[in-house]
Amino acid sequence: MADEPERVELARSGGFANVAMRASVPAQALGPHERAGLDALLDRQPAGEAEAGKPDRFQYDVTVVAGERRHHVRLGEAEIDEGLRPLIDCLERDAKPTARRPT
């Protein structure tokens, strides 16, 4: 990604209760360990077609926004390693539940 990242967006779904959560954090607000996780995300291939998540596990859709460009990565709970954990924890601290649509 050529432009400097402006923000990181998280959409977390799944888990036992399947409560969807969303967050958006300015890139400037990230500390050094979180920024290292951001750089690691940018090194990953963008997400392809949606795949079914694992039962009772979280799925993390993380998007790095820089100008008009967006780099979207989809991660399963087991893919969150030590390098990504500080960034994911930061995003989850700011995450708010999304409203469910009436059925």
Question: Is 93 part of any domain?
Answer: yes
Tokens representing 37? Answer: 């996780």
Lowest-confidence region among 15-19, 57-61, 78-82: 15-19
Q: How far apart are CA 22 and CA 13, in angstroms?
A: 9
Question: Per the domain annotation, does 2 fall within a domain?
Answer: no
102 is a domain residue = no
pTM for the full predicted model: 0.84
Q: Which residues of 60-92 are buried (b: 16+ CB within 10 A; e: fewer)?
A: bbbbbbbeeeebebbbebeebeeebebbbebbe
Name the average pLDDT for the chain. 87
Instruction: Classify residue 29: in a domain, yes or no.
Output: yes
Look at residue 1 and tell me if it is in a domain. Answer: no
Does residue 87 lie in a domain region? yes
Task: Decide if 55 is inside a domain.
Answer: yes
Nearest to 86 by CA among 21, 17, 8, 1: 8
Residue 89 confidence (pLDDT): 96
Which pair of structure tokens corresponds to residue 67? 């100008």
Is the pLDDT score of 20 beyond 60? yes
How many domains does one find in the chain? Answer: 1
Query: Residue 42 sits in which domain range?
Result: 7-97
Residue 103 lies in a domain: no
